[in-house]
Structure 1
Amino acid sequence: MEHVIGIDIGTSAVKVLLVDWTGKVKAESTEPYPLYQPHSGYSEQNPGDWVEKTIIALRKVLKIANIDPRSVVGLSFSGQMHGLVLLTETNEVVRPAILWNDTRTTEQCREIEARIGKEKLLAITKNEALEGFTLPKLLWVKKHEPHLYKQAHTFLLPKDYVRLRFTGHVAMEYSDAAGTLLLDIQKKAWSEKLCQELAIEIECPPLVESTECVGTLLPEIAEKTGLSTSVKVFAGGADNACGAIGAGILAEGQTMCSIGTSGVVLAFEQTGEKDFAGKVHYFNHAKPNSYYIMGVTLAAGYSFDWFKRTFFPEVPFSEIVQHAAKSPIGANGLLFTPYIVGERTPYADADIRASFIGIDAAHTTSDFARAVLEGITFSLNESVEIIKASGKRVDTVVSIGGGAKSIEWLQMQADIFATPIEKLKQEQGPSMGAAMIAAYGCGWFSSLEQCARAFKEVERVVEPNPAAVERYRELFALYRDIYPQTKEITKKLKTFRP
């Protein structure tokens, strides 16, 4: 039996899946790597760590699965978006990668808006200039590290760099290129206008489709991993695009909610013609010639993790969720906004910070836990509401990540989104989407949709409770009032932060 491998270069670890032609996961391995934060707002990684840990994880999955390595015929990649990897002309790394959650580039974002204009930028890229994107990082290095910038010949994103080390082939595919803020989304080409007007002298890498085979494994990689040099390597996609493929988000009306460190609401879009005025991200999909729109909560699971570390360090996440379920809808009059590192959708504000609103002496730890879960879900609902307001259908929402691990949180999503929620039987996130790209690329299926029908299994559908939907609609209106009321206060408090 033949096998394929999906590799996800995440923010905290690489995850590798080995999958057979039925979609069954035969083995998986996760290898963590360090995150460096030398200054407040900085977030960096060593690209060499991604390669080293991926090789280790590949060796482990082959050992766990106990299969003939020659049965692995293809592999593909998923990866964290936006991260800047600068390379010399000989493809050596110039400096540590600057990641998506790095917020040092506010000045560069304002520079882009001033020199290009918001309307022109939206017309080309469909996205606003935000700190997380790649272009502001390029401009930051050019200003603050000119000696390093001069060494750079081109740039890649995290998973593209690992793929380069595996194949020797420099390329970037459209779903990740769309997150650089340099791609003309509809033309599927690098914007000469943006590069010229912002004086980007560094070469943009060649563009390929996510499903394109870009080579086979280099002999030294094959030797280190135990795989064959004949393994086909496919370009892959951005983590959210691959997550969407893994969840079967490949047609109109299909939407996904992913709660990891950040939170994502993603909806399929067939054309690149809609205008969301930058309120949500608009990216090319890993499915060729299609798109997706996406809203982001910067600190979704991260807010829950902060709450656990700060108040319940020894208590498992599952117990905290059950604890939260003891509190009623609305947490007895307590609201939480998950802005602990700023917010992305719909406010794009790096200065805003989180709030608990309505605290009184009667509140319990159950109320605080519920308020945190509800606040995260309210923030995600901001994106759901924008999608619905555009006239797009939201027939069902596939929930993946931490938000899909408990029936209590699934029910909360169904009630707040006012939409049926699907929980997958086997939820592997972006790495499964990468494996599906490899499966399609190897000719196992005639389309990604056919692959999704074979691989995707829905374990349960959670229906919204009409009474809870109405109650949450009232609470959501109050939640929306918090940002404009606290924006200036938290901005002034910035001078007191470390």
Structure 2
Amino acid sequence: MKYVIGVDLGTSAVKILLVNQKGEVVQEISRTYPLLQEKAGYSEQNPNDWVEQCVLGLRELVEKFDGDVEDIEGISFSGQMHGLVLLDEDLEPIRNAILWNDTRTTEQCRRIYDVVGEERLLEITKNPALEGFTLPKLLWVKEHEPGAYAKAKRFLLPKDYVRFALTGKLHMDYSDAAGTLLLHVSKKEWSKEICSRLDIREELCPPLVDSHEEVGTLTPEMASETGLSPRLRVFAGGADNACGAIGSGILSKGKTLCSIGTSGVVLSYEEDSDKDFQGKVHYFNHGKEDAYYTMGVTLAAGYSLSWFKEVFAGDESFEQLLAGVDTVTPGANGLIFTPYLVGERTPHADAMIRASFIGMDSAHERKHFVRAVLEGITFSLQESIELFRNSGKEINSIISIGGGAKSDAWLQMQADIFQAEVVKLSSEQGPGMGAAMLAAYGSGWFDTLEDCAHAFLQTADTYQPNPENVLIYRELFKVYKEVYNQTKSLNDQLAPFRN
């Protein structure tokens, strides 16, 4: 039996999967690393923490593997998008990485619009200037840490730095590069125009490759440290959402994905690069060659539930927290939650908005608040689905992965709010499985990624919309959408009082 490894570099942990030729997950290793938040709006990590935990995880995988390591043929990567890793002339990190959920760059986003122009930026990158993207972070370092910027010789994204540490080879794949605001998405090349207008040195940008492309082998040192074969084939991999799409079979027209992790994503496959959503949703290169995907993002999806648990049920498991949610009627007895804990992205690109519970009264118990949090996250994702539908996309069936696929009550809630069939996969590994599939495809196990998906992915269950609940949620969704407009000014006034 042959095997491949999929590495998913998340915001809180790296997850490593060992997958055999049948698509079965033989081993799953997870190792955490800290999040560094110096002040409100800041979110950083030490890139070497990623490498250390990835190497330790790979070593643990090898130690538990009872076969011949030569039978592990390939490895590929999925990773958190947008994070800025600056390397000096020795290709060592100059400072901590600034992550996707860091919101310090509002002024830099305005400058991008002033210099490049909003319309021209959308023509080139297919995306608006948002605080989470890489280019605003690069400009922030240039303006606030000129010494660090002067030392910079290259920039990488998080999973690309880990792969570089393992191989000594510098690359970035198109699906991750599309989230930098420096890539000409349709031409699949770095934009000389954007670099020139914003005075960004082009040589900072690494060589571009396809996600399935083989980019090297392990260095002798890393082969020794991990116990893996020095002949292990290393493939580029992709952005976490692109790999999540691959790992969920979103590889043809009409396929849609709902992924609820720290952030939440609604993602739909696109065949070409000429769609125009006016920047209301993201438009990125897919991990599948010469394909694309549209994507709406809720910044604090699973994070909203994690926050609620940590603050109000720190000693309980998520299973205990969610117990009884299915006994609460839709609408949580008139309680609505908006998941704007760290601002929002789709459809409101607003770093200053903050979360709300609306409609609290003395009849509400904790289970009502928990259900309201789940509903609020799902309403936010529904806003992206509504944008897709309004653009003419037909969405009747949605594959759900991540934290939202671990609860029957939440899966039914998604079907009712999305007004669509919701599908749960039998082995839901999302981005990690997508990375493994890229390694399997790159290793020649299958002729196409679609063939790989057919062999690796099976449906476990489906959830159909409840007509009565659909009507209730349709009305509540109208109220939910009003909360942003009604609280925006209040949150702007409260912003100076935040630490």
Query: Which TM-score band (shorter chain)?
Result: over 0.9
Distance between the aligned counterparts of 1:216 and 1:308, measured in 2? 42
Is contact 1:5–1:76 with CA below 8 Å preserved after alignment? yes
Cα offset, 1:442, TM superposition: 0.4
Partner of 1:212: 213
Cross-structure match for 1:99: 99
How far has the Cα of 1:419 moved from its partner?
Answer: 0.6
> For the residues of structure 1 that align with 2:95 and 2:310, how far apart are their CA atoms?
32
Give the letter for the 1:243 counterpart: G
Structure 2: distance between partners of 1:361 and 1:25: 47
Q: Match of 2:67, SS?
A: coil
Cα pair 1:153 1:202 within 8 Å, conserved: no
Change (3 A) 1:87 1:161: same
Asked if 1:324 corresponds to 2:325, the answer is: yes
Letter aligned with residue 241 of structure 1: A
In structure 1, what is the Cα distance between the partners aligned to 2:426 and 2:57? 24
Percentage of matched positions with identical amino acids: 61
Task: Map Cα deviations across residues 336-359 of structure 1 (whole Å, 9 max, x no partner).
Answer: 111111111000101111111111
2:357 and 2:276 map into 1 onto residues whose CA distance is 34
> Secondary structure of 1:325's partner?
helix
Structure 1 residue 309: Cα displacement: 1.6
* Greater mean alpha carbon deviation, residues 306-315 or residues 384-393: 306-315
Q: Counterpart amino acid of 2:112? A: I
| 1:58 equivalenced with 2:66 (yes/no) | no
Contact 2:243–2:434 (CA under 8 A) maintained in structure 1: yes
SS at match of 2:201: coil
The separation in 2 between residues aligned to 1:114 and 1:362, in whole angstroms, is: 50
Q: CA deviation at 1:320?
A: 2.3
Q: How does 1:83-232 map to 2 (within 5 A)?
A: 83-201=83-201, 203=203, 204-232=205-233
Q: Which amino acid aligns with 1:75?
A: I
Question: Is 1:28 matched with 2:28?
Answer: yes
Q: State the Cα deviation string for residues 273-296 of structure 1 (Å, max 9, x = none).
A: 111111111000000000011111
1:164 is displaced (CA, Å) by 1.0
CA distance in 1, matches of 2:60, 2:21: 20
Partner amino acid for 1:294? M
Q: What SS class does the counterpart of residue 370 from structure 2 fall into?
A: helix
| Partner secondary structure for residue 123 of structure 2 | helix
5 Å-filtered alignment, 1:401-412, equals: 401-412=402-413
Instruction: Quote how far apart the aligned CAs of 1:202 are.
Output: 5.0
Deviation, 1:393, is 2.1
Aligned to 1:278: 279
Q: Distance in 2 between matches of 1:467 and 1:231?
A: 54
Counterparts of 2:241 and 2:372 in 1: how far apart (Å)?
27
Alignment partner of 1:292 is 2:293:
yes
* Cα separation, 1, equivalents of 2:316 and 2:201: 51
Query: What corresponds to 2:347 in structure 1?
Result: 346
TM-score under structure 1 length normalisation: 0.99
Q: How far off its partner does 1:366 sit?
A: 2.0
> d(CA) in 1 for partners of 2:313 and 2:91?
45
Aligned to 1:79: 79
Q: Is the 8 A contact 1:325 1:366 kept in 2?
A: no
2:406 pairs with 1:420: no
Distance 1:128 1:175 in 2: 16
2:211–2:288 contact (8 Å) kept in structure 1: yes
1:436 Cα deviation (Å)? Answer: 0.2
SS at match of 2:427: coil
Amino acid of the residue matched to residue 458 of structure 2?
E
Q: Can you list the C-alpha shifts for 1:45-91, whole angstroms capped at 9, x where unaligned?
A: 11111111111111111222322111111100110100101112331
Contact 1:343 / 1:352 at 8 angstroms: preserved in 2? Answer: yes
Distance 2:380 2:320 in 1: 23
Gaps of 5+ in 2: none
1:313 corresponding residue in structure 2: 314
Check the 8 A contact 1:154/1:202 in 2, yes or no: no
Between 453-462 and 33-42, the greater mean CA deviation after superposition: 33-42
The 10-residue stretch of structure 1 (264-273 or 361-370) with the greater mean CA deviation from structure 2:
361-370
Q: Distance in 2 between matches of 1:45 and 1:5?
A: 24
CA distance in 1, matches of 2:178, 2:200: 17
Q: Secondary structure at the match of 2:151?
A: coil
Contact kept, 8 Å, 2:40 with 2:498, in 1: the verdict is: no
Hey, what does 1:366 align to over in structure 2?
367
Q: Is the 8 A contact 2:213 2:236 kept in 1?
A: yes
After TM superposition, give the deviation of residue 371 of structure 1 in Å: 0.9
TM-score (norm 2): 0.98
Q: Say if 2:263 and 2:300, in contact at 8 Å, map to a contact too.
A: yes
- Structure 1 residue 195: Cα displacement: 0.2
Cα deviation, 1:433-476, whole Å, max 9, x if unaligned, reads 00000000000000000000011011001111111111111110
Count of residue pairs brought into register by the alignment? 498
Q: Distance in 2 between matches of 1:43 and 1:369?
A: 26
- Give 1:367 shift: 1.5
Equivalent position of 1:246 in the other structure: 247
Q: What is the SS of the residue equivalent to 1:435?
A: helix
Distance 1:457 1:253 in 2: 18
Between 1:88-97 and 1:339-348, the stretch displaced more is 88-97
SS of the counterpart of 1:350?
A: coil
